[in-house]
Structure 1
């Protein structure tokens, strides 16, 4: 560990300490899905289905927001999402069906520290636990690390939200700890679990994703031959 002029340990100096850029994309194109900047004109009808018409109420238990009560409430929300720069919202389009089946965002964007969080993940049942869902995460990670050159990528969830925590660990995030009494929402106390990926971990993780997403890793029924961890 380097020492300063007072013989105190300090963190390593960075070759490039410039602030990062804000997200600004139209399309991230993959093999199984595309990730598109969310717009009302392009995405409202598809999103309405899994946000309201055929929503799964239990999927909203650990969201800060309550389920939508009307189609107009969904439209208003998406109008706000479209205009927002932090969080920056995406729609996930499944290429097999051609439909938008999920949304998520880059949030807590901190250019000075080159740190950002993946959050507000809402997936229709047809997208959950699919290649397209994993690829969508891979596409955004690639954008964050390889294009924006951010150093830290976060995932946070209610400590009781085991599906979210399991998803984070499957995707390669490292558990960092639990913030006790971190938040109050829906009249409940929330302990928050924190996970992260840092830039030095990304090259190996990127290779793992690409090995898993390769067509030859799936049989004729679309079943994986090797898990993401095994890749």
Structure 2
């Protein structure tokens, strides 16, 4: 019998640690381990009246500040998902949440999700840098694969994944029920060897020279990551 093909050996792989830093610092944003006492009140205020922010989430909108505080307090106790609050370094204000989840050190796989950015932080360098920092931490810690999954109807999340350089790997049909509705899930990933190309693209976008005096980008991150990956320009 002829030999059947097997995957290549992964020499020297050591399972990376689970997420743990209390703080991950950047230029525009600081990621702080979620703490309801510090983070719930300002985020509830920023999200008030913006119920659409929760359209694709399995929780929310929250009817009261206390309900939101209680939810944050529960999330802050969990190791998976492992939540961070995103604090804008210029304004000092908390503007969003993001987490690591489906954390699988034995296979070197980790996902970024539960991303909820307030209108005040959306489309800002701080919001972009927050996700970039999370990707970078994962690969520097030794993960081989960083995943991004979203509702296949969530067009902004699909575009964001591509913008960061995640590769679309397919759609899992009838993957979940979320608040009684069907969810088909789009799957994306970046591999460690791809980050070797994408990391410099992220750094080039975040470089102050990429922004004019009014804070407008000179070159889009989607263009830089497409160039790095050899994709068609957006």
Counterpart secondary structure, 1:225: coil
Partner residue, 2:31: 35
Q: Runs of 4+ in structure 1 displaced over 3 angstroms? A: none
Partner residue, 1:49: 45
The correspondence of residues 144-163 of structure 1 with structure 2, limited to 5 A, is 144-146=138-140, 148-163=141-156
Where structure 1 has 5 or more consecutive residues not aligned to the other structure, the ranges are none
Give CA deviations for 1:14-57 in whole Å, capped at 9, x if unaligned.
11233221100111111111111111232222222234xx2411
Distance 1:190 1:133 in 2: 26
Partner residue, 1:87: 81
The correspondence of residues 65-80 of structure 1 with structure 2, limited to 5 A, is 65-80=59-74
Bigger drift between 71-80 and 164-173 goes to 71-80
Distance 1:18 1:134 in 2: 29
1:183 equivalent to 2:183? Answer no
The Cα shift of 1:188 comes to 1.1
Counterpart secondary structure, 1:80: helix
Where structure 2 has 5 or more consecutive residues not aligned to the other structure, the ranges are 225-234
Distance 1:202 1:92 in 2: 22
TM-score by length of 1: 0.93
TM-score by length of 2: 0.92
Distance 1:125 1:215 in 2: 23
1:135 equivalent to 2:111? Answer no
The Cα shift of 1:68 comes to 0.7
Distance 2:214 2:200 in 1: 24
Aligned residues: 224
Give the counterpart of 2:11 among 3, 10, 15. 15
Matched-pair contact (CA < 8 Å) for 2:84–2:97? yes
Aligned CA RMSD, in angstroms, stands at 1.4
Partner residue, 1:101: 95
